[in-house]
Chain A
Amino acid sequence: MTEVLPKSTLYCGVCSYPPEYCEFTATFKRCKEWLLSNHQEVYEKLYSDEALANQTSTLSLEKEQKMEQELEKKQKKEEAKQERELQKKLSSKVTIKRIERNKRKHIISISGLEVFNIDMKKLSKTFASKFATGATVTKNAEKKEEILVQGDVSNEAKEYIEKLLEEKGLNEVKVEQIDDKKKKKALEAEAEAAAKAGKK
């Protein structure tokens, strides 16, 4: 029996496809740039004039042009979408709220993280083990997920989240700390009243 070694395949860092198929994705331009800067020899093999000429020969020119146009349109759309998403990410902020439970006891609630593709459940688990407290994921009034952590750990949590965001390259995102002194019941009553007023 001869040992068969696994063949290693290169995957594009932008679209995760093998580079041959980058041309069919909406992020083709960025794929090309990535390939050129990371794996030049593959780039030359795929995108040299000779290779391109071979590819187009099997399809009629007209069809080729049409396909290209369509692809370009798609790419533009995709780019615009990504731009919007980035803007959304930059403009949103993370809120860490300290809520008083019982005079000296507090819980903190962290919201606004869902925009950043962070797994809330996992993060709550890390918080729970990091601070040795209970941490849960719940849905708040706006139907968005938030993490509740038992105990006043807002400063540490803030530091941790800032670090997390920095790793993702999002330095400019604001992390806001709010101190919520009122009792929860009063707050709820207030929110209800506000909702009623809004309806009227």
Chain B
Amino acid sequence: MFKKFSKEDVHSRSNIKSSAQRGLKGNFVSQFEALEPVIDTIIPKKSQAILIKCEDKIQLYLIDNEVVLFQHFDDLIPTLKVVHKYPQCFPRVQVDRGAIKFVLSGANIMCPGLTSAGADLPEENLEEGSIVTIYAEGKETALAVGKLLMSTNDIKSINKGHGIELLHYLGDGLWNHTE
């Protein structure tokens, strides 16, 4: 999504209403329930969020000059900087070492990369369409954020084709985007 992303893709920026900001926080927490204790540190009550509308219906939310999350249709997706700060709050999957190279160049993640020896999927089932943070074999920090194209049970049983649509990864346009 952010493979090619630069200042030219930014259409408008505006401050959002505090009520809209409250709503945003609510939505964000309902999507990631583990966020509840930290949501006030991610989005402080008194802060002013800035909404940046971009090409392809992408909306970035900026707090203190840092992109905290972005919205694509109804999905609220945290940026990697936030994932690195609060790694325990998001569902995680792990890919094997061979896949890192491709993930870092923006490829969708194929099922075998999630089921092989070095990879790891959570025990409980994650539904199709949920947002996951992607880790790698032998690494401690997340390297990408993606959206499940099939539920994790299906990934385990079918083990073929695209498993995760990659949304945001280290070194993409959003990662390098500075205000």
Shortest CB-to-CB span from B77 to chain A, Å, is: 18
Which residues of chain A are near B104, meaning CB under 8 Å? Answer: 21, 24
Select the stretch in B20-28, B81-89, B159-167 that faces chain A.
B81-89
Given A1-B37, A3-B37, A58-B117, A21 contacting B143 (CB threshold 8 A): yes
- A69 contacts partner chain B, Cβ-Cβ < 8 Å: no
Residues of B within 8 A of A4 (CB): 37-38, 41, 86, 88-89
Verify if B98 is at the interface (C-beta below 8 Å from A): yes
Query: At the interface, yes or no: A131 with Cβ under 8 Å from chain B?
Result: no
Task: Report chain A residues within 8 Å CB of B2.
Answer: none
Residues of A within 8 A of B100 (CB): 21, 24
Residues 1-28 of A contacting B (Cβ, < 8 Å): 1-4, 6-9, 15-18, 20-21, 24-25
Residues of A within 8 A of B176 (CB): 16
Interface of B is mostly: loop
- With A and B bound together, what is the CA distance between A15 and B104 in angstroms? 13
User: Shortest CB–CB separation between residue A110 and chain B, in angstroms?
Assistant: 21
- List A contacts of B41 (CB < 8 A): 4, 6
CB <8 Å contact, B170 and A21? yes
Take A6-B85, A7-B87, A9-B84 as given contacts and tell me if A20 and B98 are in contact as well, using a CB distance cutoff of 8 Å: no
User: Which residue of B is nearest A7, CB measured?
Assistant: B85
When the two chains form the complex, which single residue of A16, A20, A54 contacts B175, counting CB atoms closer than 8 Å?
A16
B85–chain A nearest beta-carbon distance, Å: 4
Q: Is the CB of B141 within 8 A of A20?
A: yes
Residues of chain A within 8 A of B84, CB atoms compared:
7, 9, 18
The count of residues in chain A whose C-beta lies closer than 8 Å to any C-beta of chain B is 22
Contact B86 A20 (CB under 8 A): no
Which B residues lie within 8 Å of A55 (CB)? 97, 138
Contact with A along B115-151 (1 / 0, CB 8 A): 0011000000000000000000111110100000000
A58 to chain B, nearest CB (A): 6
Q: What chain A residues lie within 8 Å of B140 (beta carbons)? A: 20
What CA separation (Å) do A58 and B117 show in the bound complex? 9
Chain B contacts for A8, CB-based, 8 A = 85
Residue B46 lies at the interface, judged by CB distance under 8 Å to chain A: no
Contacts of B86 in A (CB 8 A): 4, 6-7
List residues of chain A with CB within 8 A of the CB of B98.
59, 63
Say yes or no: A24 contacts B175, CB within 8 Å: no
Question: Is B171 interfacial (CB 8 A cutoff)?
Answer: yes
With a cutoff of 8 Å between Cβ atoms, the chain A residues found around residue B138 in the complex are 54-55, 58
A9 to B143 CA separation, bound complex (whole angstroms): 12
- A selection of 12 A-B contacts at a CB cut-off of 8 Å is A1-B36, A2-B37, A3-B37, A6-B38, A7-B87, A9-B84, A21-B104, A24-B104, A58-B137, A59-B97, A59-B98, A67-B101
Taking A18-B139, A59-B98 as known contacts, 14 extra A-B pairs with beta carbons closer than 8 A to each other, sorted by chain A number, are: A2-B37, A3-B37, A6-B86, A7-B86, A18-B141, A18-B170, A20-B139, A20-B141, A21-B141, A21-B170, A55-B97, A58-B117, A58-B118, A58-B137
